[in-house]
Amino acid sequence: MDYAKKFIVKPGDRVRLADIDPGDTADQRSHSKAKPLTKDYLKRLAALQYRLYADGNRSLLVVLQGLDAGGKDGVIRHVFSRMNPQGTSVACFKQPSREELSHDFLWRIHKRTPAKGEVVVFNRSHYEGVLVERVHDLVPQDMWSSRFELITRFEELLAQSGTKILKFYLHISPEEQLERFRRRLEDETRHWKISESDYEERKFWPQYMEAYEDVLAKTSTADSPWFVIPSNNKWFRNLAVAQIITRTMDDMKLQLPPTHVDLRDIQRRYHAAKQRADADGKDT
Amino acid sequence: MDYAKKFIVKPGDRVRLADIDPGDTADQRSHSKAKPLTKDYLKRLAALQYRLYADGNRSLLVVLQGLDAGGKDGVIRHVFSRMNPQGTSVACFKQPSREELSHDFLWRIHKRTPAKGEVVVFNRSHYEGVLVERVHDLVPQDMWSSRFELITRFEELLAQSGTKILKFYLHISPEEQLERFRRRLEDETRHWKISESDYEERKFWPQYMEAYEDVLAKTSTADSPWFVIPSNNKWFRNLAVAQIITRTMDDMKLQLPPTHVDLRDIQRRYHAAKQRADADGKDT
């Protein structure tokens, strides 16, 4: 099944998140059957990344958004850990610093966009400016509401210089979030990660859903689409994200660059060097 | 065998690279026997990196240097590919840009040093300032010769703010380099990487050895040691680098941070949220 087709938010469409089942696994029935598929995509992804790096004209930006425990870190660990770290990086956008706050909201984002040949993953992103900042009234409505247009223009700028953008909203249910909080409580190695705000933020669930629905309706474009990934099942989430990225990179028709040297000349140089080395070997 | 002990350049020592066999495999006899050892180190490395990230007070900087085809890219692919890309990054120092050249030689380096909790790998580094720039007379002798001291002070600054530095010189023979060039010529997917300068640089082999010997003698310190890794055998190189990094991180005694919340309070919050969720479930 083509998960991109299934989970894309078509430009202009308004989705109701309540109508999308976070436990959906589409055509997949079990983790054990999905596992080899995911593994195969990850292998192809590594090869495609090599081509992207070699090609050096295009780049890929993957935006991950979702509520706490939605699985952003998990996608990074599972889908991107097999890529060559040379050419792949992760930008994690936490609370902005004082310097960052003294600039427009895209300033710190722009600095981390991928160079040609690179894959960059955003763990949270410029969308926080129309999500957490909206939900908690950190900026006035006329400011955040004008940001949708600013974001779209910014992403057009990136797309026009060769950056393919894929944006994933990792969709979980409030029950699943609570279950994941419970597991954190039971795992001592993760206690340091627990924060009171996890529970405070939960209370804003409906406001977040409304904010996300606006984001999806206003900023999913042909060059920079949103996908709503049912993410209650981590194994399905990983499979869907891996497939969508793989197929997108396949479609980029990345080519290895042409040889920029005269190969016959290089052959001659090789043989000359080889003869010298052999002669040196005989001398000793 | 403790490869750190075996391959370290003791502070103040002057090694003669001609006396070190690039084909050495120490106590290892075969790739097949070394493979599971390397795999085990990589697994431990991933766990240690999680602790470094969680701890958030220390960082690790790995410097890779070596001649063309020495294996810098290979080490990155094999030793660092299993780490979580969130918290690991690679900085590749190619020819400096015009802006970079208009600053001191450490300016572009400093920008890429690891933040607390991070692992950063330098593919080439500030040492190019006393290697390629020296060998090709790009800077006058009084300038490059003063850089050893500047480099040592710079690395002290990093060490004092919690960065552990490990520097690897990947030692191959000229014959092995030539053999790797030959393999590139035979592999079409790598033709785009071939450059005439590969063969030009080879002619400076003795000058590079002299420059490296100076680097090793003048900049290996207790906090920031150099290791000369015999690298004709890629599998042994990977094993030795993986072991040295793993043991170093082990010695850092990284701890998971203490829980910064009252766990009983969190338990109460969890149960309150759970009750609300269950009640909501009954309503519908």
pLDDT digits (tens, 9 = 90+) for B214-242: 999 999 999 999 999 999 999 999 999 99
pLDDT for B182 beyond 70 = yes
pLDDT tens-digit series, residues B83-133: 999 999 999 999 999 999 999 999 999 999 999 999 999 999 999 999 999
* pLDDT tier, A284 (very low <50, low <70, confident <90, very high otherwise): low
Confidence of residue B284 (pLDDT cuts 50, 70, 90): low
Task: State the pLDDT at residue B132.
Answer: 95
Q: Do B85 and A84 touch (CB under 8 A)?
A: no
**CATH (domain of B137):** 3.40.50.300
Tell me whether residues B192 and A259 touch, CB distance under 8 A: yes
Mean pLDDT of chain A: 95
The answer to whether residue B167 scores a pLDDT higher than 60 is yes
Q: Residue B126 in contact with residue B154, Cβ under 8 Å? A: yes
For range B19-28, the mean pLDDT: 98
Q: Report the alpha-carbon distance of residue A79 to residue A238 in Å, rounded.
A: 7
pLDDT computed for residue A44 by the predictor: 96
pTM value is 0.92
Q: Do B185 and A263 touch (CB under 8 A)?
A: yes
Q: Looking at CA atoms only, how far is residue B190 from chain A in angstroms?
A: 8
How close B95 gets to chain A, by Cα (Å)? 16
- Helices B174-186 and A263-283, axial angle in degrees (round to 10): 150
Interface test with B, best of A79, A184, A203, A266 (most B CBs within 10 A): A266
Domain span at residue B23? 3-283
Mean pLDDT (chain B) is 95
Q: What pLDDT score was predicted for residue B196? A: 85
Residue B45 burial (CB < 10 Å; 0-12/13-18/19+)?
Answer: buried
Best mutation target among B191, B205, B276, B284 (most A Cβ atoms within 10 Å) is B191
Average pLDDT value for residue range A114-137? 97
* C-alpha span between A275 and A269 (Å, rounded): 10
- d(CA A176, CA A170) in angstroms, rounded, equals 12
Count how many Cα atoms sit within 13 Å of the Cα of residue B248 in the half-sphere of its side chain. Answer: 27
Question: Is the CB of A261 less than 8 angstroms away from the CB of B195?
Answer: yes
pLDDT of A76 strictly over 60? yes
Give the residue ranges of DSSP H helices in chain B: 3-7, 31-55, 72-79, 98-101, 107-110, 132-135, 141-160, 174-186, 196-202, 205-219, 234-251, 263-283
pLDDT of the residue at A93:
96
Closest approach of chain A CAs to the CA of B2, in angstroms?
A: 27
Q: How far apart are CA A65 and CA A279, in angstroms?
A: 62
- Asked if the Cβ–Cβ distance from B199 to A269 is below 8 Å, we say yes
pLDDT of B14 > 60? The answer is: yes
Give the pLDDT confidence score for residue B283 in this predicted structure: 59
ipTM over 0.95: no
Give B52→chain A minimum CA distance, Å.
13
Among candidates A85, A270, A281 on the partner chain, residue whose Cβ is nearest the Cβ of B83: A85
Give the residue-averaged pLDDT of B162-189.
95
- The tally of domains found in chain A comes to 1
pLDDT > 90? residue A282: no
Q: Nearest residue of A to residue B258 by CA position?
A: A192
Q: How many other β-carbons are positioned within 10 Å of the β-carbon of residue A74?
A: 17
